[in-house]
Amino acid sequence: MSERPIAVAVRYCCRPRHLRRTLAIAVVVGVITAFTAINQLDVILGGEATAVTAVKAGMNFVVPFIVSNVGLLSGRPSAQVRDAAPQDAKTPCRGTP
């Protein structure tokens, strides 16, 4: 039986070399471009920050991480995604569906 495409894609994205790249992109976009300041600074400085504000600030890192992984997957031939190397089974995302 063939492995589910989502599981194969997640395993491919969880390769250490790919995680280093996509996490770096998320940090650069989330911090250096100051999305939190652009989107939430008035609320934070006004003392009106809530848990929702914190979630929104966190999304400034999650969204670029997801987008960079989609780009990673779209730039690779499907055969490379399917043929994940055996050493990749020990990545931090091991056991994901």
| DSSP structure string for 23-70 | HHHHHIIIIIT-HHHHHHHHHHHTT---HHHHHHHHHHHHHHHHHHHH
Question: Comparing C-alpha atoms, which of 18, 95, 14, 29 is closest to residue 62?
Answer: 29
Residue 93 Cα distances to 12, 43, 45, 61, angstroms: 10, 35, 37, 18
Distances (CA, A) of 80 to 46, 57, 86: 49, 34, 13
Q: What's the confidence (pLDDT) of residue 97?
A: 44
- In the chain, where the domains are located: 5-87
For residue 94, CA distances in Å to 4, 5, 12, 73 come to 15, 15, 11, 18
Q: What is the pLDDT along the chain (97 residues), one digit of tens a residue?
A: 578 889 999 999 999 999 999 999 999 888 766 777 787 888 889 999 999 988 888 888 899 999 999 999 998 876 655 555 444 455 556 554 4
